[in-house]
Structure 1
């Protein structure tokens, strides 16, 4: 029983410390997931795991290891922020793999990228033929940035000279699973009476009958009614 309590206590401490350090490191861990940040995340998780399960490691030693590693990461991130040379050294540089519609074989080889990988990355951009691509750049985080050939680009409203309407709202959830999202209503400066009126215009009598409702950019409300279970 004592072993269970000790493991639970160590788990709680490790969890809280890891949560605090994750908040300190900021959002770059997810939004710009480079090789360095990937290694950092794995290492912090591994130290936390050892802190929880390895009784030979003192709590203070485990917490110190987590803290020092996080501080070193913050220091490196600061240096890379201030120095372009350090940033290139840590994160690498973007690599052009398609230029003027031509696949650059040497750039592909240096990036350890084969045609299957390139095709997969292009499909992720809804491009199913290399012929459509003018430029493709492999970013340091492994994602592919693509510039289509002009004749393959989608026409914009500006190109077609279609009159533009100003967006009144940012599309937002109003009802989820029969429950009003009060926080969104308040931020949008709308009230429940207005919402109930809008869903009645869609042929729904009560909020409880709505599975999902979303405010559209033009001020209208999209309503998805719950499916009634029939025996």
Structure 2
């Protein structure tokens, strides 16, 4: 295989894989279930063969990637529309701790031993099983925890603390990043550049380029982090 052919194959494999990954959506990355894992392995293997295996025709490799992707999308549609189909493709969450007691049958079914369970709990900052009321092993391998009521954090409602009334924006929003103004976010917030300049001048900042990061808070104030601190 010549260098030019290798470059061509790798370029085609990369572009096709990138486009098909975009087509399949973020679920393949964000929620790695058994089905997603199988899909990722298959597509990666096909793309690898297309890139470096000269016995694989470029046309055949591209067709194989497209067909695999179509199968993935079809099963995703079944997954979205049918609960029974979802059980086949992704399985069901398993309750591994119920009312503070370890469910040995669920651990065996999921092939998770006690050491692995404790490791998953520690990743959630739980070091004692007695603090757990319920624990559910999700289909993507994550462990969802419901602590016992006595271990749950106190909320503002518990303390009868009302939310501050002055909330001008739903979320903190970035307006400067690495010395550059995010004009799109300013427009969304309906804030002009003059307001931003005035806020910077209040902090004795004369140039946008001196700002590493700035974020408009929910109450309308500006958080500023300068360069060369």
TM-score (norm 1): 0.91
Q: Which residue of 1 aligns with 2:89?
A: 90
User: What do the CA deviations read for 1:188-226 (whole angstroms, capped 9, x no partner)?
Assistant: 111221112112223433222212111111111111122
Q: Which residue of 2 aligns with 1:192?
A: 193
Q: Does 1:206 align with 2:207?
A: yes
Query: Superposed, which structure 2 residues align to 1:48-59 within 5 Å?
Result: 48-59=47-58
Query: Superposed, which structure 2 residues align to 1:94-173 within 5 Å?
Result: 94-166=93-165, 167-169=167-169, 170-173=171-174
Secondary structure (helix, strand or coil) at the match of 1:140 reads coil
Structure 1 stretches of 4+ with a deviation exceeding 6 A read none
**Aligned-residue offset at 1:105:** 2.0
**Aligned-residue offset at 1:114:** 2.1
Describe the shift of the 1:196–1:123 C-alpha distance in structure 2 as closer, same or farther (beyond 3 A): farther
Inter-partner Cα distance in structure 2 for 1:194 and 1:164: 26
Where structure 1 has 5 or more consecutive residues not aligned to the other structure, the ranges are none
Q: Which residue of 1 aligns with 2:226?
A: 225
Count of equivalent residues:
227
Inter-partner Cα distance in structure 2 for 1:4 and 1:186: 48
RMSD over aligned Cα atoms: 1.7
Inter-partner Cα distance in structure 2 for 1:198 and 1:115: 55
Q: Which residue of 2 aligns with 1:68?
A: 67
Q: Which moved more, 1:139-148 or 1:161-170?
A: 161-170
Secondary structure (helix, strand or coil) at the match of 1:157 reads coil
Where structure 2 has 5 or more consecutive residues not aligned to the other structure, the ranges are none
Inter-partner Cα distance in structure 2 for 1:113 and 1:155: 32
Inter-partner Cα distance in structure 1 for 2:126 and 2:188: 38
TM-score (norm 2): 0.92
